[in-house]
Amino acid sequence: MLKDEKTIMIVEDDSYIMDIYKTKLLKEGFKIITANDGVQALKKLEEEKAQPDLILLDIMMPHLDGLSVLKKLQVNERWKFIPVILLTNLGQKEKIQKGFKLGAKDYLIKAYFTPAEVVEKINQYL
């Protein structure tokens, strides 16, 4: 399958970080779906005819946090097989461990990964 056939959903409440990831992934040939929080992410997943091939999911967000979204993904037959990479800040080890228990494939500490490294990580799971 060609990379340009792959769709990534980015769920991130920080518009600056969202724009960085979106710009890099578009340049790499991915299709992008964006959501500013967990509520919007779930709504878009319901509305989308084609499911994303991978979800980049921020842990800390208003309204519905990333771990709550992950729980909802795991109990939904359409979504439970979508690989999820958690986006996190420093000092969230407990939440990362909980994320793995809930089915996350990996995590990225935002401050430690360049956009190119994010693409490499995504490609590991596609």
Q: Which CATH superfamily is domain 3-124 in?
A: Response regulator (3.40.50.2300)
pLDDT at 91: 67
Tell me what pLDDT residue 43 has: 94
Residue 60 contacts residue 36 (beta carbons within 8 Å): no
**pLDDT of res. 102:** 92
- The string of pLDDT tens digits covering residues 49-95 is 778 999 999 998 888 999 999 999 999 999 999 999 999 886 678 88
Distance CA(90)–CA(80), nearest Å, equals 27
User: DSSP characters for 42-88?
Assistant: HHHHHH-SSPPSEEEEESS-SSS-HHHHHHHHHT-TTTTTS-EEEEE
* Res. 112: pLDDT tops 50: yes
Q: Where are the domains of the chain?
A: 3-124
Query: 95-99, 104-108, 118-122: which range is least confident on average?
Result: 95-99
Return the DSSP state at 13. Answer: S
**Contact between residue 10 and residue 40 where contact means Cβ atoms under 8 Å apart:** no
